[in-house]
Amino acid sequence: MAKINVGDMAPDFELKDKDGQKVKLSDYRGKQSVVVYFYPKDETPGCTAQACSFRDSYEDFKAAGAEVIGISSDTGRSHTDFAAHHRLPFILLSDIIGKVRKAYGAYDLLGLIPGRVTFVIDRDGRVIHRFDSQLSPKKHIDEALAKLQKQV
């Protein structure tokens, strides 16, 4: 299993959003930075806290020139309900078979449990920050935003 680290090119991916539209990471290359965060499951306490923290800071991410993309193995329907329930303005993608999660090495506990890992990817597609913490969901937002604000 690969593990993407700072300095690596972020693996491209194409996944469907909550509306069934395809989103490709490479569509952002040369245009803006992207924060890609992998999380275990919609509507669980830690994941909800993390998503709502990204929501509450979303305008700060936009001001720093970045889009936020959350990825889990949940279905598009689950993402639709999750986004509506918590008024999430950013993109949620379904990686149902875990192909993208595996490409990024976003696992925890012996590579078996979906991890909570955030990547900050610059305009050129290079990973400039990686933060991995299953137990500090809100810290992912602070870490990513601080890195982006240093770039501006």
Give catalytic residues, as residue numbers.
47
Q: Calculate the alpha carbon distances from 61 to 5, 57, 96, 123, 136 in Å.
A: 21, 6, 26, 14, 19
Q: Calculate the alpha carbon distances from 102 to 114, 115, 132 in Å.
A: 10, 10, 15
The residue type at 45:
P
Q: Calculate the alpha carbon distances from 37 to 11, 70 in Å.
A: 14, 5
Contact 116, 140 (CB under 8 A): yes
Q: Where are the alpha helices (DSSP H) in the chain?
A: 45-56, 58-63, 76-86, 99-104, 139-151
